[in-house]
Amino acid sequence: MSGRDPERQPWGNNGFTVPMRKDLVFGMAGSGGDGIVSAGDSLLQAAAAEGYHGVMTKSFGSQIRGGESSCRVRISTDPILNPGGDLDVAVALNWDDFLKFGAELPVSGKTVVIYEAATNIPEDQIPLVGITPLQVIAVPMTAMAKETAGTERAKNTVVLGLIAGWFGIGAVAVMKGIRKKLSKKGDELVEANQRAFDAGRAFAIEHPLVTSMQIVASDTKGNVKLITDGNDMCAAAAIFAGCKFFGGYPITPSTEIMQFFTDHVWKYGGSVLQAEDEIAGIGAAIGASFAGLKSMTATSGPGLSLKTEMMGLASIAELPLVIVNVQRGGPSTGLPTKNEQSDLFAAVFSAHGDVIRPVLAPTSVADTFRITIEAFNIAEHFQTPVIVLSDQEISQRKETLDPIDTSVFKIEDRLVPTGSDLQNYKRFKLTENNISPISHPGMLGGTYLASGIEHTENGAPTNSGTVHAKMNNKRTKKFDPLRERRDLFEISGDPDAPIAMVAWGSVAGVCREALAMARAEGLNVKLLVPYLLYPVAEGFYNDYFASVKKGLIIEQTHLAQFHKLLRMHLDLPKGVKPMARSGANPFLPGEIVAALHRLLSELQRSHESQLQPQE
Partner 1 sequence: MNGTTTMEFQPKDYKSDLKPIWCPGCGDFSVVAAIYRALAAIGRPPHEIAFVSGIGCSSRIPGYTTAYGFNSVHGRSLPIAQGIKMANPELLVLAAGGDGDGFSIGGGHIPHMIRRNMDITYIVMDNQIYGLTKGQLSPTSKKGRTSSTSRHGSLEQPVNPLLYALAYGAGFVAQAAPIDIAGMAATIEEAIRYPGFAFVNIQSPCVTYGEESQQIKGLKAISESLPALGHNPADRLAAMDLAQHYGDKLHLGVFYRNPEPPPTYGDLIKERQELLSKDALPRERILDLFIKK
Residue 429 or residue 597: which is nearer to partner 1 going by CB? Answer: 429
Characterize the bridge pairing of strands 550-555 and 576-580.
parallel
d(CA 71, CA 318): 43
Under rule CB under 8 A, residue 333 binds partner 1: no
Binding mask 455-484 for partner 1 (x = CB under 8 A): ----xxx-----------------------
Within positions 355 to 374, which residues make up the interface with partner 1, using CB under 8 A?
369
Q: Which is nearer to partner 1, 205 or 279 (CB)?
A: 279
CA angle 144, 146, 151 (to 5 degrees): 135
What secondary structure does DSSP assign to 491-519, as a single string?
EEE-TT-SEEEEE-THHHHHHHHHHHHHH
Neighbours of 196 (CB within 10 A): 29
CB 173 within 8 A of CB 148: no
Given candidates 10, 32, 61, 242, which one binds partner 1 under the rule CB under 8 A? 242
Q: Which stretch binds partner 1 (CB under 8 A): 448-456, 465-473, 570-578, 606-614?
A: 448-456
| Least distance between partner 1 and beta carbon 376 (Å) | 13
Task: Closer to partner 1 by CB, 1 or 172: give it.
Answer: 172
Selection from 135, 131, 138 nearest residue 209 by Cα: 135
Indicate whether 78 belongs to the interface with partner 1 (CB under 8 A). Answer: no
Q: How far is the CB of 529 from partner 1 (least distance, A)?
A: 23
DSSP letter assigned to residue 599: H
Which of 57/341 has CB closer to partner 1?
A: 57
Min separation Cβ 315 and partner 1, Å: 12
Between 62 and 407, whose beta carbon lies closer to partner 1? 407
For residue 232, give every residue at least 6 positions away whose Cβ sits within 8 Å of its Cβ, in sequence order, or none.
Answer: 256, 257, 260
Q: How many CB atoms lie within 10 A of CB 451?
A: 13
Question: Residue 460 or 469: which CB sits closer to partner 1?
Answer: 460
DSSP for 347-411, written as a single string: HHH-SSSS----EE---SHHHHHHHHHHHHHHHHHHTSEEEEEEEHHHHH-EEEE----GGG---
What separation in angstroms does the CA of 407 have from each of 241, 244, 377? Answer: 12, 20, 15
Residue number, 198 or 309, with CB nearest to partner 1: 309
- Of 310-318, 508-516, 522-530, 562-570, the window that binds partner 1 (rule: CB under 8 A) is 310-318
Q: Which helix (H) or strand (E) holds 345?
A: helix 344-349
* The one among 452, 535, 573, 590 contacting partner 1 by CB under 8 A: 452
Longest Cα–Cα distance in the chain? 88
Report the alpha-carbon distance of residue 31 to residue 22 in Å, rounded. Answer: 30
Instruction: List the beta bridge partners of residue 112.
Output: 89, 135
Quick one: which of 1, 131, 210, 449 contacts partner 1 (CB under 8 A)? 449
Closer residue to partner 1 in complex, CB, 90/238: 238
- Site residues for partner 1, window 385-414 (CB under 8 A)? 400-401, 403-404, 406-407
By beta-carbon proximity to partner 1, the closer residue of 141 and 310 is: 310
Query: Do residues 95 and 121 make contact, with C-beta atoms less than 8 angstroms apart?
Result: yes
SS3 call for 69 = strand
H or E element, residue 566: helix 561-569
Q: Look at the chain and count its residues.
A: 615
Position 379 contacts partner 1 (CB under 8 A):
no
139 binds partner 1 (CB under 8 A): no
Binding mask 498-517 for partner 1 (x = CB under 8 A): --------------------
Site for partner 1 in 201-240 (CB under 8 A): 224-228, 232-233, 236, 239-240
Contact track, partner 1, 165-204, x by CB under 8 A: ----------------------------------------
- Give how far the C-alpha of residue 299 lies from the chain's centroid of Cα atoms, to the nearest Å: 15
Q: How many positions of this chain bind partner 1 (CB under 8 A)?
A: 73
Binding mask 256-295 for partner 1 (x = CB under 8 A): --------x-xxxxxx-x-xxx-xxxxxxxxxxxxxxx-x
Does residue 250 belong to the site contacting partner 1 (CB under 8 A)?
no
Closer CB to partner 1, 61 or 287, in the complex: 287
